[in-house]
C-alpha cells in the first residue's frame, strides 16, 4: 500500500485527489488529511478514508472535529496548528504528499515533504514561486521526487524526455508552449474591467477551481505564476517559454523540439487526469475522467496574449527576470490583492496596480534562506495592505 497525505484535502484539488484514490482503495492508503477550518467536510472525509491523522490549522475547528469523530466512533487522531501540517508531511508511513494548500500557507509543509524525501505532487505553485531555488535544492539534496500537478506543467512533463534535468538544449527542446485559456474576460472590453465583480471573476469558463486561483486565471497572474513555476521545474529561463492563449483548454501545453516536432498533451479540463498521473507515475491508472471525443470536439484556437489586457503576466515575467525575492514579493502582493478583491475592498484592476506598487517599493534581495523568503513575504504583505487602505480611502468608497 502506498501511504498518502493530502494537504488541503477539503479544497478543489484535495477533493479530486480523494476521488481518484477512491477508485483505487486497494493501492493507496490515506495516512493524513489536512484543512484550515472546514471541519465538517474533513469529518466526512475521515469517515470514508479513516486516516491515522487529521489536521486543522484552526484550534477551534480541531476541537469540533474531535467531538464529531468521537460521536461517530472514528479513531483518527486530530492535530491542530500550522506545525502539524509539517509533522504529517514528514511521517514515515507517508510515501506521497499531495501539496494542495492554497497560497504561501503551503510553503513550510511542502518544504517539509521535500526535506523528508517524499514523492511530492505539487499543486501549490505559490511555494515554488516564493522560494524556487531553495525549494529545488531541497528536492535534489533529499532525493525527493517532484511531480507537477498543475495541468500545464503536468502536460509539459508528459511531453519531455526523461533526462530534461540535463538542460533543455541538450535534449533538443526549442520552446515550451505554455497554454492558458485567457479566463472569463478574454473578450470583455477593457473599459469594463473596473466593474468586474468577484462572482464574475470566479466563474471560469472551462475549469472548476478554488476562488484564489480562479481570480488569478481572470487576471492571468496564474499564467505568470506558471511561467515562474515552469522555469524552476524544467531548469530553464524565460527565453525558452512562450505563453499561448488557447480558449478551449483541451491542449494542456506543448513542447516544441528543434527538429520541428511539437508534442502536446490533450484531455478534458479535469484535474483528476494530472492527479492520477502523479499518483501512479510512471504507470497509468483510471482517473474517472471521460475520454476526449475528438470527432465532436470544438475547433482548437491558439493566439498571442494581449499584454495590455493582462498586466499581471508582464509583472510576473519582470519579477522572474529580477530574480531573488522579487517573485516572493509578487506572490505575496498578489495574495493580499486577490483577497481584498474577493472581500470587495479593491476593484479588479487594482490587483495589478497593487502588485506593481509593491514590486516598486521593495528592492529584491538574494533569496538565500527560507527565513529571508518568509520575512520578505511578510514585508510585501504589509506594504500591499497599506497601499490598498490608502487607495480605498482616496476613492472614498470601494475603489
Residues that bind Mg ion (CB under 5 A): 150-152
Q: Number of C-alpha atoms within 13 angstroms, CB side, residue 225?
A: 31
Min dist CB 115 to ligand NDP, Å, is 18
Min dist CB 150 to Mg ion, Å, is 4
Min dist CB 124 to ligand NDP, Å, is 4
Between 35 and 68, name the residue whose CB sits nearer to ligand NDP. Answer: 35
Q: Which does 210 bind (CB under 5 to 8 A by kind): ligand NDP, Mg ion, none?
A: ligand NDP
Could you tell me if 118 and 241 are in contact, meaning their C-beta atoms sit under 8 angstroms apart? Answer: no
Between 151 and 347, name the residue whose CB sits nearer to Mg ion. Answer: 151
When CB distances to Mg ion are compared, the closest residue is 150
How far is CA 121 from each of CA 25, 276, 281, rounded to the nearest angstrom? 18, 10, 11
Q: Which does 333 bind (CB under 5 to 8 A by kind): Mg ion, ligand NDP, none?
A: none
Min dist CB 208 to Mg ion, Å, is 13
Residues that bind ligand NDP (CB under 6 A): 8-14, 35-38, 57, 100-102, 105, 123-126, 150, 207, 209-210, 212-213, 271
For residue 62, give the C-alpha cell: 480541531
Which residues share a beta bridge with 264?
254
Between 38 and 334, name the residue whose CB sits nearer to ligand NDP. Answer: 38
Q: Which does 125 bind (CB under 5 to 8 A by kind): ligand NDP, Mg ion, none?
A: ligand NDP
Q: Please state at what angle helix 348-361 crosses helix 311-322, rounded to 10 degrees.
A: 20
Between 253 and 347, name the residue whose CB sits nearer to Mg ion. Answer: 253
Q: Which does 65 bind (CB under 5 to 8 A by kind): ligand NDP, Mg ion, none?
A: none
Between 93 and 207, name the residue whose CB sits nearer to Mg ion. Answer: 207
Q: Which does 186 bind (CB under 5 to 8 A by kind): ligand NDP, Mg ion, none?
A: none
Which residues share a beta bridge with 161?
none
Between 9 and 218, name the residue whose CB sits nearer to ligand NDP. Answer: 9
- Across 171-199, b (16+ Cβ under 10 Å) vs e yields bebbbbbbbbbbbbbbeeeeeebeebebe
Query: What is d(CA 110, CA 107) in angstroms, rounded to the nearest whole number?
Result: 5
Min dist CB 41 to ligand NDP, Å, is 7
- How many C-beta neighbours within 10 Å does residue 208 have? 13
Between 17 and 151, name the residue whose CB sits nearer to Mg ion. Answer: 151
Min dist CB 226 to ligand NDP, Å, is 9
When CB distances to ligand NDP are compared, the closest residue is 11
Q: Which does 314 bind (CB under 5 to 8 A by kind): Mg ion, ligand NDP, none?
A: none
Query: What is d(CA 312, CA 5) in angstroms, rounded to the nearest whole number?
Result: 33
Q: Shortest CA distance to 324 belongs to which of 280, 363, 274, 269?
A: 363
Min dist CB 16 to ligand NDP, Å, is 8
Q: Which does 12 bind (CB under 5 to 8 A by kind): Mg ion, ligand NDP, none?
A: ligand NDP
- The alpha carbon of 319 is separated from its chain's Cα centroid by a whole number of angstroms, namely 18
Between 125 and 186, name the residue whose CB sits nearer to ligand NDP. Answer: 125
Min dist CB 177 to ligand NDP, Å, is 18
Between 54 and 123, name the residue whose CB sits nearer to Mg ion. Answer: 123
Q: Which does 14 bind (CB under 5 to 8 A by kind): ligand NDP, Mg ion, none?
A: ligand NDP
Residue keyed to cell 492571468 = 220
Min dist CB 210 to ligand NDP, Å, is 3
Q: Which does 317 bind (CB under 5 to 8 A by kind): ligand NDP, Mg ion, none?
A: none
Amino acid at each position: 500500500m502506498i501511504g498518502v497525505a493530502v494537504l488541503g484535502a477539503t479544497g478543489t484539488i484535495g477533493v479530486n485527489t480523494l476521488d481518484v484514490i477512491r477508485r483505487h482503495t486497494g493501492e493507496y492508503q490515506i495516512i493524513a488529511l489536512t484543512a484550515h477550518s472546514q471541519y465538517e467536510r474533513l469529518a466526512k472525509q475521515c469517515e470514508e478514508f479513516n486516516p491515522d491523522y487529521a489536521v486543522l490549522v484552526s484550534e477551534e475547528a480541531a476541537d469540533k472535529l474531535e467531538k464529531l469523530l468521537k460521536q461517530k466512533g472514528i479513531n483518527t487522531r486530530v492535530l491542530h496548528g500550522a506545525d502539524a501540517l509539517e509533522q504529517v508531511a514528514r511521517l514515515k508511513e507517508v510515501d506521497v504528499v499531495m501539496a494542495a494548500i492554497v497560497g504561501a500557507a503551503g510553503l513550510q509543509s511542502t518544504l517539509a515533504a521535500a526535506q523528508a524525501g517524499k514523492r511530492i505532487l505539487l499543486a501549490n505553485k505559490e511555494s515554488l514561486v516564493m522560494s524556487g531555488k531553495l525549494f529545488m535544492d531541497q528536492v535534489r539534496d533529499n532525493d525527493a521526487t517532484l511531480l507537477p500537478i498543475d495541468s500545464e506543467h503536468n502536460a509539459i512533463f508528459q511531453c519531455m524526455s526523461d533526462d530534461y534535468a540535463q538542460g533543455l538544449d541538450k535534449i533538443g527542446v526549442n520552446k515550451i508552449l505554455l497554454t492558458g485559456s485567457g479566463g472569463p474576460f478574454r473578450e470583455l472590453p477593457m473599459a469594463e474591467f473596473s466593474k468586474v465583480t468577484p462572482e464574475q471573476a470566479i466563474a471560469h469558463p472551462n475549469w472548476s477551481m478554488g476562488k484564489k486561483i480562479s481570480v488569478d486565471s481572470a487576471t492571468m497572474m496564474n499564467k505568470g505564476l506558471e511561467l515562474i513555476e515552469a522555469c524552476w521545474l524544467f531548469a530553464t529561463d524565460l527565453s525558452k517559454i512562450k505563453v499561448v492563449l488557447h480558449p478551449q483548454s483541451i491542449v494542456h501545453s506543448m513542447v516544441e523540439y528543434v527538429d520541428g516536432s511539437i508534442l502536446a498533451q490533450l484531455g478534458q479540463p479535469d484535474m483528476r487526469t494530472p492527479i492520477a498521473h502523479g499518483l501512479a507515475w510512471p504507470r497509468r491508472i483510471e482517473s474517472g475522467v471521460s475520454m476526449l471525443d475528438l470527432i465532436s470536439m470544438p475547433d482548437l484556437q491558439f493566439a498571442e496574449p494581449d499584454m495590455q489586457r493582462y498586466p499581471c503576466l508582464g509583472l510576473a515575467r519582470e519579477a522572474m527576470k529580477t530574480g531573488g525575492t522579487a517573485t516572493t514579493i509578487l506572490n505575496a502582493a498578489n495574495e493580499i490583492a486577490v483577497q481584498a478583491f474577493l472581500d470587495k475592498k479593491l476593484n479588479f484592476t487594482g490587483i495589478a496596480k497593487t502588485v506593481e506598487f509593491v514590486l516598486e517599493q521593495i528592492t529584491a534581495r538574494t533569496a538565500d534562506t527560507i527565513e529571508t523568503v518568509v520575512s520578505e513575504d511578510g514585508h510585501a504583505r504589509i506594504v500591499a495592505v497599506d497601499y490598498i487602505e490608502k487607495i480605498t480611502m482616496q476613492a472614498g468608497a470601494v475603489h
